[in-house]
Amino acid sequence: MKKLIVFDLDGTIAASKSAIDAEMATLLNRLLGIIKVAIISGGNWQQFETQVLANLPQNNNWTNLSLLPTSGTKFYRIKDLQAGWQQLYAEDFTPDEKTRIITALNEAIAAVGLVVKTTWGEQIEDRGSQITFSALGQQAPLEQKSTWDPDGAKRSQIKAILDRTIPEFSIHIGGTTSIDITRPGIDKAYGIHKLKDILGIPIADMLFIGDALFPGGNDYPAKQAGALSIEVRDIHETKRVIETILACLE
């Protein structure tokens, strides 16, 4: 059996920008009681706090949990509940890098003629180590997001332009309406390698579970890093996968 189970967040253990439900919290808590778990997501640290930690039973099992926001460009661990969560590293952009990315992103959006009549919050978010474009805005309702670009075709057009105009950065389709941009080579593959280095667990002993393992998807780099990967359709399928893992471990 593997020694580390690594999950994507949105679309895998929770609906987009939504809290994990009670059943998922129970399953994750059981898993954390017997094996190390990591979560890598394009979301920022605040999303991890509200989507996962605020809804997960608070106990010593958290010492088995590693959290990697913004596609693995940051890493958080906890030694004990009193000490709280500690940031081990952050691969933040320079101001000049942020300017180049945001300019290129706006030009790519204009080039494909993308017009969104209604948005909920900002479309472009600076997450320090990652710039994220969310077509309908950061607070868009899930029902709106799930039907906007289900096959990723609209975002693929933007990504194709960005791959040409800012080739010095990594561009990945993520979530339901988003595109994540990080420094080159700093993506979920980078996070997988950081887990190996920090936890001392070989990649061969990791299992990655995500919903965007297709080429160009923001989970795909984890697969490219060599982690055995399981692609899930939604959180319900993830629950069945966790139950299977628990049946083997328990």
| Residue from 207, 187, 203, 184 nearest 195 by CA | 203
Per domain, the residue ranges of the chain are: 4-91+186-249, 95-182
Mean pLDDT of the chain: 94
pLDDT for 17: 86
Q: Class of 4-91+186-249 per CATH?
A: alpha beta
For residue range 48-103, list pLDDT tens digits in order: 999 999 999 999 999 999 999 988 889 999 988 888 999 999 989 999 999 999 99
Examine domains 4-91+186-249 and 95-182 and report if their fold is the same. Answer: no
Catalytic residue annotation: 8, 10
Residue 16 confidence class, pLDDT cut points 50, 70, 90 = confident
Residue 141 in this model has a pLDDT that exceeds 90: yes
Q: Class of 95-182 per CATH?
A: alpha beta
Kindly list the distances between the CA atom of residue 43 and the CA atoms of 17, 136, 139, 181, 193, in Å, as whole numbers in the listed order.
Answer: 8, 16, 13, 12, 19
For residue range 184-194, list pLDDT tens digits in order: 888 899 999 99
For residue range 108-132, list pLDDT tens digits in order: 999 999 989 899 999 999 999 999 9
pLDDT for 91: 87
Phi and psi, residue 237, nearest 5°: -70, -35
Tell me the DSSP string of 143-180.
Answer: HHHHHHSTTSHHHHHHHHHHHHH-TTSEEEEETTTEEE
For residue range 159-169, list pLDDT tens digits in order: 999 999 999 99
Count CB atoms within 10 A of the CB of residue 204. 11
Residue 149 in this model has a pLDDT that exceeds 90: yes
209, 229 contact by CB (below 8 A) = yes
Q: From the annotation, which residues make up the binding site for alpha-D-mannose 1-phosphate? A: 127, 178, 180
Distance CA 34, CA 64 (A): 9
Q: From the annotation, which residues make up the binding site for Mg(2+)? A: 8, 10, 211
37, 13 contact by CB (below 8 A) = no
The count of residues in the chain is 250
